[in-house]
Chain A
Amino acid sequence: KQEVTQIPAALSVPEGENLVLNCSFTDSAIYNLQWFRQDPGKGLTSLLLIQSSQREQTSGRLNASLDKSSGRSTLYIAASQPGDSATYLCAATMIYNQGGKLIFGQGTELSVKP
């Protein structure tokens, strides 16, 4: 059974700092891995999707990597801004799961201080 873990649960950084959010998984039979952002009381916004054949994806100041052999994905945020404050969730879709079901980590709550 796949387990997705995100550490730390919370992170506070000063504005302008580059930071890395971690996501680990126990089963490497991943079809893809998706990173989301969730603002308080809101739905999830998809940030990046990495297919199993890819090693990384970039969108603006965000870069996500995937290393199936080590069971890790990272989300790199460059030059952090107060507007980046939110909870970041990673989720995996497994090769063997019907219906493309996502298995979520518990999230990292990021606070960027001005």
Chain B
Amino acid sequence: SQTIHQWPATLVQPVGSPLSLECTVEGTSNPNLYWYRQAAGRGLQLLFYSVGIGQISSEVPQNLSASRPQDRQFILSSKKLLLSDSGFYLCASGHYEQFFGPGTRLTVL
């Protein structure tokens, strides 16, 4: 079965600072990869998905970006964080059955 790793687990960043969250996947090849955000008390919102290396689709307009430099590596970035970027970020892997990583808790102050 797949294992999804995410780091860091927790991050506190000032407004305007850059961001880089990393996700790597084991136990599968050529997966679809996804970044979701879960704001406090709310459901999961799909931010980006990728069906292959270098292929990124954005679901919502925002100041975040994603990249997929390798088959099983997915990175979420920002050049300047906003307060509204705070949340719990989850990486997922799969095709029509998705498996999730442990998440990164981001607090922007």
Contact = CB atoms under 8 A, between A and B. Distances in A.
A binds B: yes
Interface of A: 31-32, 34, 36, 41-46, 49, 89, 91, 93, 98-102, 104-107
Contacts of A100: 32, 94-96, 98
A42 B100 CA distance: 10
The DSSP consensus for interface residues of chain A is: strand
Given A42-B103, A43-B103, A49-B97, A101 B43 contact: no
A104 B57 contact: no
A104 B43 contact: yes
A1 B44 CA distance: 16
Interface of B: 4, 6, 32, 34, 42-44, 46, 49, 51, 57, 59, 88, 90, 92, 94-103, 105
Contacts of A34: 97-98
A31 B96 contact: yes
Given A99-B51, A102-B46, A107-B43, A46 B98 contact: yes
